[in-house]
Structure 1
Amino acid sequence: MFHPLHVRAVEQLTDDSAALTLDVPPELRAAYAYAPGQHIALRRTNERGEEIRRTYSLCDPAGAAPETLRVGVRLVERGEFSTYALKELTEGRTVEVLPPTGRFILEPRAGHFAAVVGGSGITPVLSIAATLLKREPEARFCLIRSDRTTASTMFLEEVADLKDRYPDRFQLVTVLSREEQHSGLASGRLDEERLTALLPSLLSAPGIPAMDGWYLCGPLGLVESASKALRSLGVPRSRIHQEIFHADAGGMEGGVAANTLTTTSTSPARPAGLAGPAGSLPAGSVTVSATLAGRGGSWPMDDGESVLETVLRNRADAPYACKGGVCGTCRVRLLSGEVHMDRNYALEPEELDAGYVLACQSHPLTPKVEVDFDA
């Protein structure tokens, strides 16, 4: 459930981004413990009385009982929440926050890990790298980040601090798409062709396929390009973890980027019960049954609704954040019936095979559909 948290600080990072630090009272610290890479959903009601939710990745090292939560927010054109967060949400004000969630995580362990990030995609990876290097002395991390210019780069000081603190275990590679650097790589976008040529020269040992995990986060184009490059270089799909920011999904704004923020599969396998597009069922002919917080219910579906929208009409506590198929907050297990998902940037093939779907993107193809939010 949402809890009101006070804003401790608003730190300007670039001309169009800031870090928000939220105080967590002692009685809520266990509930807001988070794993490195997770995100939180923030909620407000606008002047029209509409509820607005956005998801932002946590960027500080993970803790079991955090006194504060810190997220990075980048201003998005016509982004209703990011505009509010950067221009109106000031120190001392209150914002409603859900406890952390998300599966784009790396629990600290020995090994050699790497990340390819773009723009505000640095936020969850900053938490992942900082937590890993602090807790696991046998771990190494390579960060390959792409930004437009130096002035637009979020968390410059925090990343530089990691490089200074762990010079033998943290490798940083920066690529700017719109600014020439005096040293390092030439400017330009990190597309599939460039990454395929670049990565082997950066990571000669233990070698690209032998890396223990790859974490890709940023705009859809960059994440897809990096994933294809890694697969062509022999990296097993199970070692590639992805989170999409800015997938042109309704409700996503920068920061799980709208930071959002989650492991994803852009070409998922189709499990039993997950079907392709089909003709619409007659209005009023579909019943959705759902179990949520231990309580079940069944309700008729209105024409054109998703499973999530039907449940929300009857259970306001149904979890969701982006409604764009990106953050994974509304993940449910499909117990019976068939659905079609419009889009999926949040579930791994293994989750789909196990029967999980995104309620916000699921449209029934059978007269009865049963889902479990608690599974």
Structure 2
Amino acid sequence: MFHPLRVHAIERLTDDSAAVTLAVPPGLRETFRHKPGQHLNVRYTVDGEEIRRSYSICSPATGEQAGPTLRVGIRLVDGGVFSTYALKELVVGDVVEAMPPMGGFVLMPRPGRFAAIVGGSGITPVLSMASTLLEREPDASFCLIRSDRTAGSTMFLDEVADLKDRHPDRFQLVTALSREEQQAGLPSGRLDRDRLGRLLPALLPVAEVDGWYLCGPFGLVQAAKGALRGLGVDRSRIHQEIFHVDDGPETVTGPRPEAPAHSSLTATLHGRSGTWPVPEGESLLETILRSRSDAPYACKGGVCGTCRAFLVSGEVRMDRNFALEPEETDAGYVLACQSHPATPEVELDFDR
């Protein structure tokens, strides 16, 4: 369910990014209580067209309920309708509709050693993770390895510097710029798999890190994951969230069951169930949306995880999955936007 939130402040971070602060009414503060790393799905009507997008929350997560505001980071995307609108036309006082915070890319405060490898706007959820962890857990440390094009394109410079000032013994910052030399720090260049494989053991005891959090462009996340696996890090300690995946080939591997000639879908959503035929070539999300406009979605590209649903019965074929952890797919969860029926009858439950 979407709720109207008024724009409280807009702060330009770089030439192509901004932090947008949304006011949370007192009656919705429990609803909008977030975990560090979660995102908001927002919608806005531009020229008569409904636009939905996901934006990560950079605010620290409070213990009991949400504060009076939530802050999200928005970077301009080439051809991005909402990001263009948000950076060029959105003003304080406007109302944006948002769903309650969601997402499984989360670091709850606990003792231990944690690290993140981020690129570009991938800093946004990790900023919430690091600030929450360091403020609420005195026996935790955090290493942030970030990659940006230039210093001028780097989001949340002041916030990250403030973390370093407030927690000098528990927060480690390493910055790599791909298109600009630095006076101090790493030489310029991309953080590819080979470079990360050499860099990480020199920075921290890789085997002692309790959780690795990877966020940003697909190429960087894949490189970081490959480097960590090459260094012997168990898959269960690696968590990822990918931003802006271009259209490309299918990514889900394994046996591909044949599609049935005719199939039907039963779905439970907000306590109500319905059954509909699934037209050939249509995703399960598209089938539901023809009858239920309240079906949850945002990117429709297998990235945000908003359309996550539990597969009650039947089998499906997923084309792409950049949102669900292996533990989630093993437990029976699928992305409705990427799922197609592989049996004559399929049942999904969005309420689990």
1:237 CA displacement: 0.6
Change (3 A) 1:233 1:267: farther
Once the two structures are superposed, what CA deviation does each residue of 1:147-203 show, in whole Å capped at 9, x if it has no partner? 000000000000000000000000000000000001111000000000000001111
After superposition, the CA RMSD in angstroms is 1.5
Instruction: Please name the residue that 1:223 is paired with.
Output: 221
Q: How does 1:351-370 map onto structure 2 within 5 Å?
A: 351-370=328-347
Instruction: Please name the residue that 1:305 is paired with.
Output: 282
Instruction: Work out the CA distance in 1 between the residues paired with 2:49 and 2:316.
Output: 28
Once the two structures are superposed, what CA deviation does each residue of 1:175-232 show, in whole Å capped at 9, x if it has no partner? 00000001111000000000000001111xxx20221100000000000000010111
One-letter code of the match for 1:210?
E
Say whether 1:246 aligns with 2:223.
no
Ranges in structure 1 where 5+ consecutive residues have no aligned partner: 251-265
Sequence identity, in percent? 68
Is 292-301 or 99-108 further displaced after alignment? 292-301
One-letter code of the match for 2:52?
R
Instruction: Work out the CA distance in 2 between the residues paired with 1:234 and 1:150.
Output: 32
Instruction: Please name the residue that 2:6 is paired with.
Output: 6
Cα contact 1:147–1:175 (8 A) shared by 2: yes
1:333 CA displacement: 1.0
Q: Secondary structure of the residue that 1:315 maps to in structure 2?
A: coil
Cα contact 2:251–2:319 (8 A) shared by 1: no
Instruction: Work out the CA distance in 2 between the residues paired with 1:301 and 1:221.
Output: 34
Cα contact 1:42–1:95 (8 A) shared by 2: yes
1:65 CA displacement: 2.3
Q: How does 1:116-195 map onto structure 2 within 5 Å?
A: 116-195=117-196
Say whether 1:276 aligns with 2:276.
no
1:316 CA displacement: 1.2
Q: Secondary structure of the residue that 2:153 maps to in structure 1?
A: coil
Q: How does 1:21-170 map onto structure 2 within 5 Å?
A: 21-47=21-47, 49-63=48-62, 64-170=65-171
Instruction: Work out the CA distance in 2 between the residues paired with 1:335 and 1:99.
Output: 25
Query: 318, 321, 325: which is aligned to 1:344?
Result: 321
Instruction: Work out the CA distance in 2 between the residues paired with 1:159 and 1:269.
Output: 38
Instruction: Work out the CA distance in 1 between the residues paired with 2:173 and 2:83.
Output: 28
Structure with more contact order per residue of length (Cα contacts < 8 Å, sep ≥ 6): 1
Instruction: Work out the CA distance in 1 between the residues paired with 2:345 and 2:251.
Output: 26
Instruction: Please name the residue that 1:197 is paired with.
Output: 198
Say whether 1:315 aligns with 2:314.
no
One-letter code of the match for 2:306?
T
1:46 CA displacement: 2.3
Matched length: 349
Provide TM-score, normalisation by structure 1: 0.90
Instruction: Work out the CA distance in 2 between the residues paired with 1:132 and 1:269.
Output: 35
Instruction: Work out the CA distance in 2 between the residues paired with 1:337 and 1:109.
Output: 38
Instruction: Work out the CA distance in 2 between the residues paired with 1:269 and 1:35.
Output: 31
Once the two structures are superposed, what CA deviation does each residue of 1:65-119 show, in whole Å capped at 9, x if it has no partner? 2211100100011111100111111111111111000000011011110000000
Instruction: Please name the residue that 1:255 is paired with.
Output: none
Instruction: Please name the residue that 1:213 is paired with.
Output: 211
Say whether 1:288 aligns with 2:265.
yes
1:269 CA displacement: 7.7
Q: Secondary structure of the residue that 2:127 maps to in structure 1?
A: helix
Instruction: Please name the residue that 1:16 is paired with.
Output: 16
Cα contact 1:209–1:235 (8 A) shared by 2: yes
Q: Secondary structure of the residue that 1:161 maps to in structure 2?
A: helix
One-letter code of the match for 1:21?
T
1:281 CA displacement: 4.0
Ranges in structure 2 where 5+ consecutive residues have no aligned partner: none
Cα contact 2:11–2:19 (8 A) shared by 1: yes
Cα contact 1:210–1:235 (8 A) shared by 2: no
Once the two structures are superposed, what CA deviation does each residue of 1:279-332 show, in whole Å capped at 9, x if it has no partner? x544xx221101111111101122321101111111111111111101111111
Q: Secondary structure of the residue that 1:173 maps to in structure 2?
A: strand
One-letter code of the match for 2:58?
C
One-letter code of the match for 1:157?
D
Cα contact 2:218–2:244 (8 A) shared by 1: yes
1:334 CA displacement: 1.0
